[in-house]
C-alpha cells in the first residue's frame, strides 16, 4: 500500500490531529513518515522603515520557533507509535508548492494533511493550501477534517 507518507503541519490543533492520524496510518500500513512545515519568507509590507514591525532576523527566529514546535509534535507522535520519521522545515513563498516539491523529492506516495474547514466566501478570499495541494499534486492526498 503506502510506503512513505508526507505530513505537512503548521502546529495548529487540527493539524496536530492530522499528524496523529497520519502517524497511526503509517504504523498500520508499515510506512515511514516525513513531516514538513513551511514558513513564509520575510516580506516588508511597507516602504517606510518606521512601519516595519520586525527585522529579518526576528522574523526568522520567530518562524523557526513555531516550526520547531510543530515538528516536535510529529517526532513525539512517531516515537510513541514506533514509526520512523524525518522532519523538514522549508522557507517558501508558496507553501503548497513546497509541500508538493517535498513529496516528489522525498519519494512520498501519500500526503496526509488537515483542512482548516473554511467555506464559502472565506475559502475563496483566504485560499487554502490544502485545496492548492489537491489541485496541483499528482500524488494522492488524504485530507483530515
What does 83-114 look like in DSSP terms, one character per residue? --EEEEEEE-S-HHHHHHHHHHHHT-SEEEEE
Report the predicted TM-score, pTM, of the whole model to 2 decimal places: 0.88
Task: Convert the pLDDT of each residue in 24-59 to its tens digit.
Answer: 999 999 999 999 999 999 886 655 555 566 788 998
Residue 126 clears pLDDT 70, i.e. is over it? no
Q: Sketch out the chain's domains with CATH numbers.
A: 4-115+137-144 (3.40.50.620)
> Most distant CA pair in the chain: distance in Å?
55
Amino acid at each position: 500500500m503506502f510506503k512513505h507518507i508526507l505530513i505537512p503541519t503548521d502546529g495548529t490543533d487540527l493539524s496536530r490531529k492530522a499528524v496523529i492520524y497520519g502517524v497511526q496510518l503509517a504504523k498500520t500500513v508499515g510506512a515511514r513518515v516525513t513531516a514538513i512545515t513551511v514558513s513564509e519568507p520575510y516580506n516588508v509590507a511597507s516602504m517606510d522603515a518606521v512601519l516595519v514591525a520586525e527585522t529579518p532576523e526576528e522574523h526568522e527566529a520567530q518562524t523557526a520557533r513555531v516550526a520547531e514546535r510543530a515538528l516536535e509534535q510529529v517526532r513525539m507522535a512517531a516515537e510513541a507509535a514506533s514509526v520512523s520519521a524525518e522532519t523538514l522545515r522549508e522557507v517558501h513563498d508558496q507553501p503548497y508548492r513546497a509541500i508538493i516539491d517535498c513529496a516528489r523529492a522525498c519519494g512520498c506516495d501519500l500526503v496526509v494533511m488537515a483542512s482548516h474547514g473554511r467555506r464559502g466566501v472565506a475559502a475563496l478570499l483566504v485560499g487554502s493550501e490544502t485545496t492548492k495541494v489537491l489541485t496541483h499534486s499528482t500524488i494522492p492526498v488524504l485530507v483530515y477534517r
